[in-house]
Structure 1
Amino acid sequence: MRPARSLLLAGASLLLMMAPPALAEPRAPTPAAAIERGLLYAVPDGLPLAMDLAHPARTPRRGAPAVVLVHGGGFHSGARGRMRPYLRPLAAAGFVAATIDYRLLPHAEVLDRGLEASSAFAQEDAETAIRFLRENAVRFGIDPQRIVILGASAGGITALNVAARATGPARVQAAVAIAGFGPVADLDGGDPPLLMFHGTAD
């Protein structure tokens, strides 16, 4: 298994194990279902945003835990397809897995504003995607009390921002950041469990 894929699977699984016992229900791996592509979840400023989603072939009665995957690209490039290779492995491990698009900025604007200031659209859109999945939990076979956000690079920054700042139905139960940075100093004991990687040897 490639290091990046190992980090994704380990990160999502470990965080659910770190969660309260009611959230950390062990399950045997199951085959992945086909990927549903192009599910529209929002249209901010007239721009359609979509996700691709895969789910286990067998869904527990209470629903499966969900993982929202956020791609990197410095907030000026990239698309949900970057994280698509990880959908089936996560679904085979028992997760509903979704990779999302989010609004991007021109590269020059990111350079001018900086990464942290450029991350607002990504955070807002990721929170919208989480609310969409939670509102459609029955449709997608999701346990709405077990949603993880996982991102790499700019996606890792987004995952940390969501973990620290999201409230209400956009709140996650755990977050994984790979090569990301964010407002970890703002986190306290009431925030979701967090797992960070900065190298494949971590």
Structure 2
Amino acid sequence: MKTPFLSLSLILFSVLLCESRNAPNPPVLDINGKTLRATTKYYVKPLQEDLGGGLDLAPMGNQSCPQHVVQDNNDWLGQVIQFHPVNSKDGVIRESTDLNIAFPNANTGCPESNVWTIIGDVSWYDDTQYVTAGGEIGNPGERTLVNWFKIVKTAKAYKLRFCPDVCSSCDFVCQDVSVTAEGDRGQKYLVLSDAPLEITFAKA
């Protein structure tokens, strides 16, 4: 037989559990401790500044378009970035929540948009999946699966991750966004891997 105190405790526990499940994810913070917002532009900076500069768009080899997302040299801030959360009504950028990423000021001369997407088979580890321009904002679902990223908290900063919730029936492998150096000049291209590039955010 349940005592009134036990019954009340179970009710309170159920209420608290329900509230915790419905609570929004914590906001992502910039280097000054301010909340990231969808209407604001930011520079993305590596946590370890000696590992390179900000992010930009650049061609790969003889392929001019679509351009690939790259990490610039140490002395470059890169292009400003803007985030678009899956819930367009929520102006706050939240941890581990699907969002689109775009270079709003980039002028590449290419027909593709400056919204991030992924080229490559995202259902396999063995393929190299590059982050490129050419995605679209919004319309979450199977068709736009490769356009969605998340900002995930690490011990000292953040990382970008491909692990979308916009399609529960889609086949894909969750991976972090990393960099790989290719070509004679060692250009750093953003790819999916298990070795994340830890980053911070600075308001432009």
TM-score bin, normalised by smaller chain: under 0.3
Structure number with higher strand proportion: 2
Structure number with higher helix proportion: 1
Query: Over alpha carbons, which structure has the higher Rg?
Result: 2
Under a length normalisation based on structure 2, what TM-score does the superposition of the two structures give?
0.27
